Amino acid sequence: MNSNLSETLFAKSRKLIPGGVNSPVRAFGSVGGTPRFIQRALGSSLWDVDGNHYIDLVGSWGPMILGHSHPDVIAAIHEASVSGTSFGAPTERELMLAERVLQRYPACQRIRFVNSGTEATMSALRLARGATGRDFLIKFAGNYHGHADSLLVAAGSGAMTTGVPSSAGVPADTAKTTLVARYNDLDSVRRLFEARPYKIAAVILEPVVGNMGVVLPNKDFLAGLRQLTHDYGALLIIDEVMTGFRLAPGGAIERFNIDADLVCWGKIIGGGLPVGAYGGKAEIMDHISPLGKVYQAGTLSGNPLAMAAGIATLDAIKNTSDLYDVLEARGQMLEHGLKQAADKAAVPVKINRVGSMLTVFFTDQEVQDFDSAAKTNVEQFGRWFHGLLKRGVYWPASAFEAVFVSYAHSEADIETVIDAAKAAFVKI
């Protein structure tokens, strides 16, 4: 497998783009080596510019639940594009996607579309502050909600791999309004509320964490957060950017029966085009401009091509009656095959999985929060990652990310991944 053209393109791109990439985790920084420049994708497959084929387990970090280049999505984008690419005016497609998202999240009465998950969580946070008149926010170490200033404190995802979980460039006065708790530790949240009763606007969390690797909520954690936020008059913001429409038709909120005040979406609802959204109860959302005093805007918000891709994606999801059963079956098959392969090679791993999201942690300890995730063997992961890559499996280039299985992954694809993992574990 040669990566000559990827190396040439990477060398050129580093001269023009910081790190040669437009999002840090793509740079292979924590695993080393040259990121593969992708030429095209179809179903469960990727091909790089050197013609190498991979089974893709990144899925563009979540959007590709149906697999790449789904015919309905491609057709919808093409049909929309011949009528124009952007108008800066309301269109029917925005209403159609709004109806589809809210149909699956019946507790939400209003939704506003933006262009990324970052914009969604940033806007939801501003709304929570504006609606409550309070400044402080509670987030969890290792949770990643995009790169808005207030949320780049103790963040997960790429921020965990660069060793800068609290980013430079965030003013101290901003960072101090972000209080950090430990995931799965209700007492750590209770202490923050007791120290600042009635000054905390919201708690935001990943209902299943994907951004320190997959970490599941312990029993009663989510219900406990709902009780604490009710007790102190704070809003509960559920970040479903990664889990929305992935863990169930109504996301983690449906799967875990969560009563959220605000919900954030991204990834899948755009079908691979730039879409984010935030929504919630009308009495909260109607604080948003032009109705209320909380301002939020966007030139390309509700873009017709992105809306078309989202509509086609959610319609295809709805029309695929066995989607979640297949995602669960493939996820289970992958989890069990990887565990058997690791055990056979006597490599200690812990695999955390919910449905089609999973992470292999190189450790013999349970992983249920930032500290336990951070202690896992990142070097061993990096060697295993390259063992997979050279055998044609495209795994997330970080120990602190989730793998995404799609409806396009066949049992044969999963077997291929398991076989590559077996060899990679042995060589580790």
Residues that bind ligand KE4 (CB under 6 A): 23, 25, 61, 116-118, 121, 144-146, 157-158, 206, 210-211, 239, 241-242, 266, 276, 401
Nearest CA to 126 out of 140, 109, 112 is that of 112
Q: Which residue, 48 or 401, is less far from ligand KE4 as judged by CB? A: 401
Q: Which residue, 232 or 361, is less far from ligand KE4 as judged by CB? A: 361
**Cβ at position 239, least distance to ligand KE4 in Å:** 5
CB neighbour burial string for 317-342, b if at least 16 within 10 angstroms, e if fewer: beeeeebbebbbebbbbbbebbbebb
**Cβ at position 61, least distance to ligand KE4 in Å:** 4
Q: Which residue, 152 or 341, is less far from ligand KE4 as judged by CB? A: 152
**Cβ at position 82, least distance to ligand KE4 in Å:** 27
Q: Is the peptide bond before 90 cis (omega within 30 degrees of 0)?
A: no
- 144 in catalytic set: yes
Q: Which residue, 376 or 391, is less far from ligand KE4 as judged by CB? A: 376
Q: Work out the angle at residue 140's Cα, subtended by the Cα atoms of residues 175 and 106, and round it to the nearest 5 degrees.
A: 110
- 390 in catalytic set: no
Instruction: Report the C-alpha gap between 309 and 297 in whole angstroms.
Output: 21
Tally of CB atoms within 10 A around 163: 8
- 325 in catalytic set: no
Query: Which one of 48, 56, 239, 261 is the catalytic residue?
Result: 239
Q: Which residue, 206 or 335, is less far from ligand KE4 as judged by CB? A: 206
Give the dihedral sign, CA 30/160/144/349: positive
- What long-range pairs does 218-221 form, CB within 8 A, spacing at least 24? 218/184, 218/368, 220/186, 221/183, 221/184, 221/186
Task: Say how far residue 104 (Cα) sits from the centre of its chain.
Answer: 19
**Cβ at position 65, least distance to ligand KE4 in Å:** 14
Q: Which residue, 156 or 391, is less far from ligand KE4 as judged by CB? A: 156
**Cβ at position 139, least distance to ligand KE4 in Å:** 11
Nearest CA to 179 out of 205, 143, 203 is that of 203
Query: Which one of 144, 183, 232, 394 is the catalytic residue?
Result: 144
> Please, which residues have CB within 8 angstroms of residue 337's CB and are 6 or more apart in sequence?
414, 415, 417, 418, 421
Q: Work out the angle at residue 55's Cα, subtended by the Cα atoms of residues 77 and 79, and round it to the nearest 5 degrees.
A: 5
350-354, strands of its sheet edge to edge: 350-354, 357-361, 403-404
**Cβ at position 374, least distance to ligand KE4 in Å:** 16
**Which residue number places its CB atom closest to ligand KE4?**
117
Query: Which one of 56, 232, 261, 267 is the catalytic residue?
Result: 267
Residues marked active site are found at 144, 239, 267
